[in-house]
Amino acid sequence: MLTGLKNTLLITAGALVIGIVIGVVIASIRSSFDKNKESLKMRGGIGYYILAFLNFICKIYLTIIRGTPVVVQLMIAYFIVFVSAKDGVPVGMLAFGINSGAYVAEIFRAGIMSIDNGQFEAGRSLGFNYFQTMRYIVVPQMFKSVLPTLCNEFIALLKETSVVGYVGVIDITKAGNVIAGVTYSYYIPLLTVAAIYLVMVMILSYFVGKLEKRLRKNER
């Protein structure tokens, strides 16, 4: 069971990092296109078409990932893409990270789009270009506003990893099934698995609540 707990936490943490990286890239591309498409179109040049193409690719990614079950994506990654992989943990990290990235991207994009246009104008008045404005002015404010939602995505991701046993990885759920198969009793093992997940989610929810209170306090 301890091995299962370790693998669950390892996959969740790795997937969260991958998801955040993907989310930042996609949110930056999509929000840049949404905010600058008119000005880029008026200027002409290849910049508009490059950004439009990247935005189109991002939309395809979001549609596919959000429109298919995560367990199917996991099985495609393990049995088709990385068919020669001997360890399912890195594959699980990547599969769940790619899945989480689609949702994190929309969280970040919503956060960026919620920032008042005056902040972008302030950046331009300081001589910043768009990406410098994003880095030094917009993104710090965006992270502050989306952090609670991002933490909730982390909780959802933790629970979603319970299907990683489909590719032979011993996580908490798989460990419970193995114990149940040996003891011929599902009552105690599965209730124990449920209790472990519940405790982890309650702990994370507690810290998310504390974080939200601190953020609200700092805004006053």
Q: At 91, which CATH number?
A: 1.10.3720.10
Model pTM score = 0.88
- pLDDT at residue 207, rounded to an integer: 85
Q: Backbone phi, then psi, for 82, in 5-degree steps?
A: -110, 55
Task: State which amino acid sits at residue 13.
Answer: A
User: How many Cβ atoms sit within 10 Å of the Cβ of residue 137?
Assistant: 17
Q: What is the CA radius of gyration of the chain?
A: 21
Is 212 a member of any domain? no
- pLDDT at residue 75, rounded to an integer: 95
**Number of independent structural domains in the chain:** 1
Is 118 a member of any domain? yes
Is 45 a member of any domain? yes
Is 21 a member of any domain? yes
The whole-angstrom separation of Cα 131 and Cα 22 is 17
Q: Which domain holds residue 113?
A: 2-171
User: How many Cβ atoms sit within 10 Å of the Cβ of residue 144?
Assistant: 13
Q: Indicate the helix (H) or strand (E) that contains 150.
A: helix 139-160
The whole-angstrom separation of Cα 23 and Cα 109 is 8
pLDDT string in tens for the chain (220-residue length): 788 899 999 999 999 999 999 999 999 899 888 877 777 777 777 878 888 999 999 999 999 999 999 999 999 999 999 988 888 999 999 999 999 999 999 999 988 888 887 887 888 888 887 778 888 888 888 887 888 888 889 999 999 999 999 998 999 999 999 999 898 888 999 999 999 999 999 998 888 888 778 877 766 5
- pLDDT at residue 162, rounded to an integer: 93
Is 49 a member of any domain? yes
Is 142 a member of any domain? yes
Is 195 a member of any domain? no
Is 177 a member of any domain? no
The whole-angstrom separation of Cα 5 and Cα 156 is 16
DSSP character string of 13-28: HHHHHHHHHHHHHHHH
- pLDDT at residue 140, rounded to an integer: 80
